[in-house]
Copies of this chain bind each other. A is one copy, B any other.
Amino acid sequence: MSIEMDIPVQAADSGRDIDYDELPNYIGYLLRRAQANVFREFERSLGDIGLTPGAFGLLMLIRANPGITQMELANAFGIDKSTLTPVLNRLEQSALVRREQLAHDRRYNALFFEDAQEAFFDRARTRVRDFEQSVADRLSDDEQRELVRLIGKIQADA
């Protein structure tokens, strides 16, 4: 089982033939390379909107779930609550999101997407969709569904 490796970017290769040993068969290695490449592309084509892939995803979740708390959001996104705090600080500073302490239990922050940013969000989402489309276009519809299914299947159950 062998795959085509993508071409390095740093410098012209001197032409040495690299022996990749078992590495190309390792799922972890494949995922790291694929994720790094896709994120690099995302930043190259969307860097000017000022949102990282993670920040955009969080923003989308907050917008789709008005009043979601920080713990709920962290759990839904698969990160620790302490990882979430600084990202929310940035989103709040950019006036994209606001925190509202719940009156009936003031331990909780309810999170809201700022309606005034709807136009901005819409532009950003269009750009993200275009980007995703450009990636998805490398696969047929069937292949896209299959990839999503297979990636879902390798996730550990716990």
Contacts and interface: CB of A to CB of B under 8 A. Distances in A.
B6 A155 contact: yes
Main secondary structure of the interface of A (DSSP, over half): helix
B38 A27 contact: yes
A57 B41 contact: no
Contacts of A9: 158
Given A61-B21, A72-B16, A151 B34 contact: yes
Given A8-B75, A29-B53, A147-B151, 17 more contacts: A1-B144, A5-B76, A6-B156, A8-B78, A10-B81, A16-B72, A23-B57, A23-B60, A25-B132, A27-B38, A27-B136, A28-B42, A28-B135, A30-B151, A32-B53, A33-B78, A135-B154
